[in-house]
Every structure is written in structure tokens, then in C-alpha cells.
Structure 1
Amino acid sequence: MYLQHFGMRSLPFSLTPNTEFFFGLPPHVEALQVLQVALQTGEGFIKVTGEVGTGKTLLCRKLLNELSAEFVCAWLPDPYLTPAELRAAVAQELGVSLESVRDQQHLSGLIQQRLLELCAQHKKIVLLLDEAQALPDDTLEALRLFTNLETEQRKLVQVVLFGQPELDQRLSQSNFRQLRQRITFSYQLRPLHDTEVGAYIRHRLAVCGYQGAPIFNDAAVKLLAKASRGIPRLINVLAHKALLLSYGAGMASVTLSQLRAAVADTEDATPVATHRWLWTGSLLLVLLVAAGVLKGVAW
């Protein structure tokens, strides 16, 4: 692709959440600090919400990597579970054998026994759920009941919910008022500001080994920030396409016309003024580059 052309070791704008690329921008640092402080209290639910693509999964993985050995974490990346499936998933994450389970009541007893064992070892148990807005109603209630498990000193489980803004809408319903009252800490991830977008791009390029002159000038960063609305996932998509176009044209930096073409080829990007002929031809160029036709380069 364009790695050798720009002198990079790896793709700088991959969509896969990779903690190697974590950058200490204010919204993510603040969210991480809230989570770390909240988990030290050992009480209730913790909620982090943000628009699609703002970095919730990356934040979740960063938290998992940074928690000390006193924490035992159960991470459920796919929350679309029935209450029975939720209990089974939590049991497996905590190392509970499911082979001899007779029924749901028995499984709940085994989970509680395991939690008490971990508590006796002075461990703090944390249940993290990504994409929590997809949790069915009865599973949310089952999750609340998990937090009823406690000793005389503290709760046995803390729950961290990562979700889209729809999670807030669901929890505002009256049937979830008991769960809502147990949310002790919450944080809402915001999109990046224009200056943060530039720092974000430079950081990811540096992590991948790029050392040359700026590939995205100030005007390109400004356009990229506007088209992406400061959402990291969209920044990655647009920047990657723009680099493909720059490479295909044999250039050392991204032009505004190439970036406009990338925007026109990305459905969720905020449209910018361009010419139909420009982005159609550029899209064909992207496809040719991706197929390894240009310059005889294979992926």
C-alpha cells in the first residue's frame, strides 16, 4: 500500500481499537481518570457514553491494561445477551466451571460463591460491558441484581457500562429508575476540537514511524476536522483514503482536492463543496491503488 512510500512501519489509521495509538487528549484522559477514581470507591454502576466512533472501545481496552492486580475484570464486548447468557458469560470470565450447573439458581449460587472467594483474597471485581445500549431490558435488570451481592463492608461487583447516547435515553425510562439511582459516576465523551484533530493525526503518524514533513497541512486538518465532526473513527477513514490518493498521485503530502474526494466517498462524513467529476475519478484511483494496480504494488 502506501507504507514504503511514506516511510511508515504500519497503517496509522486502522479502524481496529489499538491501545498502542492511545493519545492523551483531554476527553479520553478525563474519562480514564473518572473510571480509575470510581473503581477505587468500590460502589455502584459507572457509565461512559459517547457517539459512535468517539473511542469508547479503545478506552475500555486501555482501562483493562492499566488496572492493577487487585482487580479481577470480566469483559463482555457483546452485550446482546439474555439474563441466562449474561450469567454464563460472567461465570466463564470469573473462572467458574459450567459443566455441573443444574439450573439458573445453581449458577447464580456458584457465581456468588466465586465472588466471595475473590473478595476474601482482597480482590475487586469489575464487570465491563461494551455497547451497553444493546442490552435487552430484562438483562439490564439482571445486571442490577448482580450489584445486590455484597458483604457488610462493600459490594462484590462493580459494573462499568460503555454505550452510545441511546443508553442514556433508555435509562431515563421509569422502569430503570432503580438502576439509574445506582450510577455513582458518569462521563460523556465528546468529539475532538480542531486543534486536537491535528495533534491526533500527528500522533498516529509518529507511532507508525513517520518522520518527514507534515503530510496534512493546517488547511487539510481544518477540512478534516469539519468533515469528520471530530469523531476519531471518521478521521481515520478519511485520512486513510486521502493517503491512498496522495500515494496514487506520487505525492509526499495530501492536497485539499484529495481530501475532498475522500470526504465525497465516505457516507457519514459531513459533505464539503466539490465537483462530481473530481471525486468520481479519485474514487476510481482509490480502487486501483487498493487492487495493487498502480506502481505494481501488492497489498
Structure 2
Amino acid sequence: MYEKFYGLSSKPFQLKPDARFFYGSKGHKRAMSYLEYGISQGEGFIVITGEIGAGKTTLMRNLFLELVTENIVAAQIVNTHVGSEDILRLVAGAFGIEYENLSKATLLRRIEEFLIQIDRQGKRALLVVDEAQNLTPRALEELRMLSNFQTADKCLLQTFLLGQPEFRQVMLSPDMQQLYQRIIASYHLGPLDVVETKSYIEHRLNTVGWKNSPEINQDAYEAIHEYTGGIPRKINSFCDRMLLMGFLDEILIFGEAEIKKVIQDIQQESEVPLTTPIINTAIAIDNLGDNYSYSSLVDERLTRMEKALISVIGAVKKIVPVTKMNNAQD
């Protein structure tokens, strides 16, 4: 919607992970070094943690682009709300191994046979488990047991565990000591600082042909960092909204005032939802006292709806030219 207005080739702040937009902050470069070290070792577990939206998945996809793919057979698991036997089925499915209606013993034998075959081909097997904080202790134990598959001189499977910060506490629990002892590297991916937030935004804009339109002032960068906490996904979501507002209001320079306006709009949308039950609305009105009436509450909601509708109409008018039609005469 706003790409043409700002002369951009595509959306710079999409939420889905895209290795084209990978930004190597100090933390991301360090995390990448740990992953590369783990690949070189060819054994054990590598653990990378970070807040939601910190860039763990993008980091992993960037690593896959750098791998010599003909020598590494990689598989990824993203759905981790499963039990111990289901995790084995997910592992098998990720590597393309048949798993339907198999007993656990048969399933383990099939996985081991696959790993041995990969090794005989001169290749290595790499398993990446995302959202590892959702795994049960028994599911984690099953993953640990898979690391026991080995030849006389090497492990047949290496595993990367990606999770949110609370996963580090899971790793340190007494029940996880056997797994913890097999972790050869661990790193926590923190948020971007103010300077990195600015570089991150400019990097994504430059990737799609940004020519300093819109112009973004230093005060704006600092306000964006304060609001998003330096979390890449939050930055993406906010900047996408910022450019949309800039398109609707034809803004070519963003300063602190414009950023505050975007924040205000987002905060207004997160207020009392339009679907609030009438009984809750009545309670809310009682709590507000005699100076606030039901009609004023309705008026406020209608005003917000009207503003939202005007914004949508404005966007449509910018995209679809208005054609004046004359009434046909017989």
C-alpha cells in the first residue's frame, strides 16, 4: 500500500522471517558464531534463547543459507506442544521417515537406520527444534536419547534448541542434568540497543531501495526503540504501521511527534473492544460515576469507528482512482 508512495520495491517490515533482511547486530553475530561452532563440532546440543520476536528463527534461516547443504541434511520442528512419543514422530516426519502406526521401538529403529544411511553417504544430520520451551521433560529426554545414536567415532545426530528465556531455567533444573551436560554451547539473544535499532531499520529500508524517503530523525529512532524495547519483531510491526500512517497523511519526515501519534493510535485500538458485553459496559459506566453516561460511551466508540473508516477510505482513494460516472440517459 505505501511502497509506491515511498518508492520502495516491497514491504521492508514484514513479520515473516526472511533471510534477505538478516541484520547482524553484535548479539546476532555472536549467536551465529556459536551456531557455526556447533556445526563444526558435529555433536551435542546448541541452545539459543531470546525473547519472542528477537530473531532466533531468522538467525537459523540465515545459517541454513551459509551451510554446505549437500553435506548436511537438516530438519526443523516448530510444533512442540507434544508428548514424548509424538516428538519422535515429529523427528521422523521432519526427516521424511515413515512413522504412521509404528511402535516406539520400531520408530527408534527407523530413525537410527536413517541416520546410519546418512553417515554412510558422507553427510551429517542436523535437527533444529524451535519453541523448545514448550517441550515436556519427557520429550526433552527423548531428544537426549537420540543423541546416543553414534558410530565408533562420531555422533549421528546434532540438535539445535531454540527457545524463549524461560527455557534456560528448564535446562538448569536437576531433572535436566544429563541433557545439560551435552550442551556444547549456549547463548541468549538480547534486544537491540538504540544505535542498533536505527541501523536495523535503515538496513531493512535499504534492502528495498530506500532513498531517504521518508526521512527519519534521530528523535524518532529513539522513540521507536523506547516503545519496542529493541525487539526486532516489535520494530517491524511498529514501522509497518508508521509507514502506513505516513502514506495516509502524506508524511515525508518522521520526528518524535509523528512517532508519538502512531503510538497513540495503536494504544487507542487496544482500549475497550467493541465486542464488550453489555453487562460489562454497564459495570464500567457505574465505576466511572455520574459524569459519564452510556450515550457518551457510545459516542466515543462511534467516533473511533468513524476515524478508522475514514483512514480506510483514504487508503482506497490513493490506490484506486475515483471515476466520475454520468447517469445514462435513454
| TM-score, normalised by the number of residues in structure 1 | 0.88
Code of the residue aligned with 1:156 in structure 2: it is: L
Structure 2 residue 320 is the aligned partner of structure 1 residue 296: no
1:96·1:111 contact (CA, 8 Å) conserved in 2? yes
Measure the CA separation in 2 of the matches of 1:14 and 1:103.
42
Measure the CA separation in 1 of the matches of 2:127 and 2:306.
46
Q: For each residue in 1:5-25, what CA deviation from the matched residue of structure 2 results, as whole angstroms up to 9, or x when unmatched?
A: 101121111111111111222
Measure the CA separation in 2 of the matches of 1:50 and 1:85.
25
1:5·1:247 contact (CA, 8 Å) conserved in 2? yes
Q: CA deviation at 1:28?
A: 1.2
Q: Which residue of 1 aligns with 2:81?
A: 80
Code of the residue aligned with 1:223 in structure 2: it is: A
Code of the residue aligned with 2:317 in structure 1: it is: G
Structure 2 gap ranges (5+): 268-302, 321-330
Measure the CA separation in 2 of the matches of 1:285 and 1:256.
22
Q: For each residue in 1:71-115, what CA deviation from the matched residue of structure 2 results, as whole angstroms up to 9, or x when unmatched?
A: 11110111222222221222122232235x541101110110110
Measure the CA separation in 2 of the matches of 1:284 and 1:149.
63
Q: Which residue of 2 aligns with 1:210?
A: 210
Code of the residue aligned with 2:221 in structure 1: it is: V
In structure 2, the CA distance between the partners of 1:202 and 1:262, relative to structure 1 (3 Å rule), is same
1:258·1:282 contact (CA, 8 Å) conserved in 2? no
In structure 2, the CA distance between the partners of 1:41 and 1:292, relative to structure 1 (3 Å rule), is farther
Q: Which residue of 2 aligns with 1:167?
A: 167
Code of the residue aligned with 2:26 in structure 1: it is: P
Structure 2 residue 24 is the aligned partner of structure 1 residue 24: yes
Q: Helix, strand or coil for the counterpart of 1:185?
A: strand
Q: CA deviation at 1:139?
A: 0.6
Mapping for residues 170-185 of structure 1, pairs under 5 Å: 170-185=170-185
Code of the residue aligned with 1:78 in structure 2: it is: N
2:74·2:125 contact (CA, 8 Å) conserved in 1? yes
Code of the residue aligned with 2:4 in structure 1: it is: Q
Q: CA deviation at 1:203?
A: 0.9
Q: For each residue in 1:167-209, what CA deviation from the matched residue of structure 2 results, as whole angstroms up to 9, or x when unmatched?
A: 0111221111111111110111111111111111111111112
Q: Which residue of 2 aligns with 1:42?
A: 42
Q: CA deviation at 1:33?
A: 1.7
1:19·1:62 contact (CA, 8 Å) conserved in 2? yes
Mapping for residues 210-289 of structure 1, pairs under 5 Å: 210-213=210-213, 215-266=215-266, 288-289=310-311
The structure having more radius of gyration, on CA atoms, is 2
Code of the residue aligned with 2:252 in structure 1: it is: A
Code of the residue aligned with 1:76 in structure 2: it is: I
Measure the CA separation in 2 of the matches of 1:92 and 1:229.
37
Q: Which range moves more in the overlay, 153-162 or 21-30?
A: 21-30
Measure the CA separation in 2 of the matches of 1:184 and 1:94.
23
In structure 2, the CA distance between the partners of 1:132 and 1:298, relative to structure 1 (3 Å rule), is farther
Q: CA deviation at 1:261?
A: 2.5
Code of the residue aligned with 2:31 in structure 1: it is: A
In structure 2, the CA distance between the partners of 1:284 and 1:5, relative to structure 1 (3 Å rule), is farther
Q: CA deviation at 1:213?
A: 4.6
Measure the CA separation in 2 of the matches of 1:46 and 1:286.
47
Structure 1 gap ranges (5+): 268-280
What do you get for the CA RMSD once the two structures are aligned?
2.2
Q: CA deviation at 1:282?
A: 9.7
Q: Which residue of 2 aligns with 1:273?
A: none
Measure the CA separation in 1 of the matches of 2:306 and 2:29.
40
2:46·2:186 contact (CA, 8 Å) conserved in 1? yes
Code of the residue aligned with 1:114 in structure 2: it is: F
Code of the residue aligned with 2:99 in structure 1: it is: L
Q: CA deviation at 1:258?
A: 2.4
